[in-house]
Structure 1
């Protein structure tokens, strides 16, 4: 037995030397054959960069969570190509700002009661660290939809509320309504995500003392409330007897509140000369970030304009990047640090409309916001996380040639359009379901890139629906800054909260305060 072990050891040693010799020879050949190949050199440089990475274990003074609503991997890929092609560079090899972050994990997004989540429980997972049921915010998984009783008794505490309690600054920015699911999950506790104003609530819930999301924002009980809240949703803050300042006389854009409250005035009364409310770009630009501590900006009665349409807005709207920069200017004055949510909220809405042009344009706007933030923060003390809340059914398929317009019809490497079995062209981007579905397969149209690349084009869908649905596959969590290396592998969506809390030590500081 001893001799057998000895021979086995010798054999393993010999095999190791032989393997090393073969590997060395192969490596030498590789250098001779493809060492100058640009793809080879690019991958080798990427390996070198990863080998040089140093883990940042500083406490995260600041935490910034970017959420691209509905931004799954396919949407990221399409945005990358679109952004590059818009700039006239190679879209396929392009790199979005967050794709250059050193750490990446995959997020499992199912909710407590659904295989495919909606934005409310996804946001709760990231802001409070638990999974909950579809359509509720700030409540645990035992809560019942529409239950005022559970709204009062089944609260979970968000990282934003924890941060406020220990004296940090907080903010929530979105291109959707500030009362919408993702921003709302930073500060509200609600038994139905649609209860954005009292007008949306059943009489029994109101009589039982439950309050709507907009009121919960301006009356936030933790600390002194959010320092910055920017987005759309003006109609949910103003009394129905008022006229919208941007659209007077427009019945479709009338304010909604039935309780007579003007919550913009509530905000101003609460914060006095240190508070400000703005509803257009000129007012926003005039804000002195060195003097204002609490800023509420509501730039539309409902959601803000899509990025493609923003320039045509009569009153003017700031971009997501501009809102992000203003927020950081205000929040960073707090020596205790800050926690900030930045949501590209309308990426999701365009996908629901199967309108890939606006999906990708808003994805590019979020890329600009990430770049703007990177230019303002110190990554030695700021953790930045970029992710989505769920995916969509957007697909990238076919055998299009390199450089083919991502919104165009599929054209092969022979520069000829590629046809389906029905003899008709098809687009590279499609949706599994949505408004672009033909009710009869024989009605599928012959498409040209000229029409498919127009901003209003509705992408073809397999299943005809009035609104395209969410997708249920995993999506990416991209991270940089203190403790970003904790994002690795495939994780539950609520893991994001736990890394942000650990990196910032907010929970520990809260416990010490008690």
Structure 2
């Protein structure tokens, strides 16, 4: 008679582990580890069978969510729930297929979000700072970008009559979401305030204006994020923060223009308005919850006007987009993982990683994987490391301890499990003068992990990231692939031969 643990393992292999949960105690004995391994191996002998073609596509992007962030986020998620963090099964972990992804850009060994988002959105690598224009375009050179605009997977979906939506916890005009609807050699040209006069004279438009006037933006049935100021004139007060104003120099009220062009639509800037929107209704939604980026998940409860959780935004978007019989494409970014890492603040990065995972779990609960392809990946990594030899169960934000005893460096000081290769957490003096984190509260939400090289902001990392997928076409996500190949795998699963006519 198999033990209770082995029976649980066999049940999980047959049914799939619940995301973000460990049933009972984790494996701890030789027999239990063997049973766990055998069960996972057995489950992989019969790959999941789904439909031949995807009707729907949901793309989840963790901005800056490298493999170390995935691992640390998993551990934090489990520990925060009072479980064994190391063996926790997240929603992203439950996706059936995986590959490693090369993230270098057309002109960069370590890329920023603009070219990496361009790669998986359009199928072409771009130069640093460029959004959805080919590598022939020079950065911040409007004239060179003309004729090299790249159409995104959302543009192709709209051609085929599919519904489309974009969600980001960053500004909706920020690089990653903008790659779905805008074309620019200058990622910072989010409003006309940043657009150089020469570029404007050569015919380039700022990103917010492209959202309103471009090919893809006006057809989006759902567009949710931050970045209100990019759509508001400079003399207009923000509705949530009266001392702040819009950023547009041209005096245009782009929110008003969107409302005029979508008479049945809903514009929302707070949680109550979002909650009141009827997702089953015909009218589209345009929601901008902050003048700039949305709140970090860790700070969301303190937002003056309220902001919905990413999972709630995804659920309502799916409910609305599912009304279209031909299918839909939903593009979702957890954008603030990246910002927390740049600040050297692992806590907020991990909390936002879990928020993205909760959104994946919510999507999985709402869709049928026989007709919906779900893809989860990152645009790039960061310099976060998980180091030392901490014992199993050691709090991920704590200092390294083995068997409950602190592990000391060569100078007799402790160090944290998580650290950065560079960033604002660098100490001016190393060696014996390095501050001992044992004297600090490493669980504090504002704590910045120590780093080696002092920089104003921590940088991206250039190692491969993971892509994981379930649903029709998911079995093609395997091995090591170029980042722009993701576009073709998604296109083929969703549109087949029709998608090749661009």
Q: Return the match for 2:261 from 270, 279, 286.
A: 270
The Cα offsets for residues 436-459 of structure 1, whole Å up to 9 and x where unpaired, read as: 001211431112286011111000
| Structure 1 counterpart of 2:43 | 49
Residue 89, structure 1, aligned to residue 98, structure 2: no
Residue 216, structure 1, aligned to residue 210, structure 2: yes
CA distance in 1, matches of 2:193, 2:256: 19
Residue 120, structure 1, aligned to residue 114, structure 2: yes
**Change in CA separation of 1:419 and 1:429 when aligned onto 2, cut-off 3 Å:** same
The Cα offsets for residues 110-154 of structure 1, whole Å up to 9 and x where unpaired, read as: 000000010001001111011111110110011111122233321
Q: Is the 8 A contact 2:118 2:179 kept in 1?
A: yes
Q: Is the 8 A contact 2:211 2:218 kept in 1?
A: no
| Structure 2 counterpart of 1:417 | 406
Q: How far is the alpha carbon of 1:355 from its aligned partner?
A: 0.2
Q: Is the 8 A contact 1:124 1:185 kept in 2?
A: yes
CA distance in 2, matches of 1:236, 1:381: 37
Structure 1 or 2, whichever has the larger Rg, is 1
Q: Return the match for 1:177 from 153, 171, 178.
A: 171
Secondary structure of 2:368's partner? coil
| Structure 2 counterpart of 1:23 | none
Q: Is the 8 A contact 1:104 1:487 kept in 2?
A: yes
477-486 or 165-174, which moves further after superposition?
165-174
CA distance in 1, matches of 2:440, 2:42: 43
| Structure 2 counterpart of 1:436 | 425
Give the TM-score normalised by the residue count of structure 1.
0.90
CA distance in 2, matches of 1:431, 1:507: 45
Residue 237, structure 1, aligned to residue 224, structure 2: no
Secondary structure of 1:67's partner? strand
CA distance in 2, matches of 1:166, 1:368: 30
**Change in CA separation of 1:381 and 1:207 when aligned onto 2, cut-off 3 Å:** same
| Structure 1 counterpart of 2:184 | 190
How many residues of Structure 1 are paired with residues of Structure 2 in the alignment?
474
**Within 5 Å, which residues of 2 pair with 1:337-356?**
337-356=327-346
Q: Is the 8 A contact 2:181 2:215 kept in 1?
A: no
Q: Return the match for 2:470 from 451, 471, 480.
A: 480
CA RMSD in angstroms, aligned pairs only: 1.5
Q: Is the 8 A contact 1:219 1:225 kept in 2?
A: no
**Displaced runs of 4 or more, over 4 A:** none
168-177 or 141-150, which moves further after superposition?
141-150
Give the TM-score normalised by the residue count of structure 2.
0.92
**Change in CA separation of 1:449 and 1:383 when aligned onto 2, cut-off 3 Å:** farther
CA distance in 2, matches of 1:347, 1:224: 28
Q: Is the 8 A contact 1:50 1:102 kept in 2?
A: no
CA distance in 2, matches of 1:386, 1:500: 12
Q: How far is the alpha carbon of 1:208 from its aligned partner?
A: 2.4
**Change in CA separation of 1:507 and 1:208 when aligned onto 2, cut-off 3 Å:** farther
The Cα offsets for residues 393-412 of structure 1, whole Å up to 9 and x where unpaired, read as: 00000011110000000011
Unaligned regions of 5+ residues in structure 1, if any?
Answer: 1-33
Q: How far is the alpha carbon of 1:52 from its aligned partner?
A: 2.1
| Structure 2 counterpart of 1:202 | 196
CA distance in 2, matches of 1:74, 1:487: 20
| Structure 2 counterpart of 1:366 | 356
| Structure 2 counterpart of 1:152 | 146
Secondary structure of 1:452's partner? coil
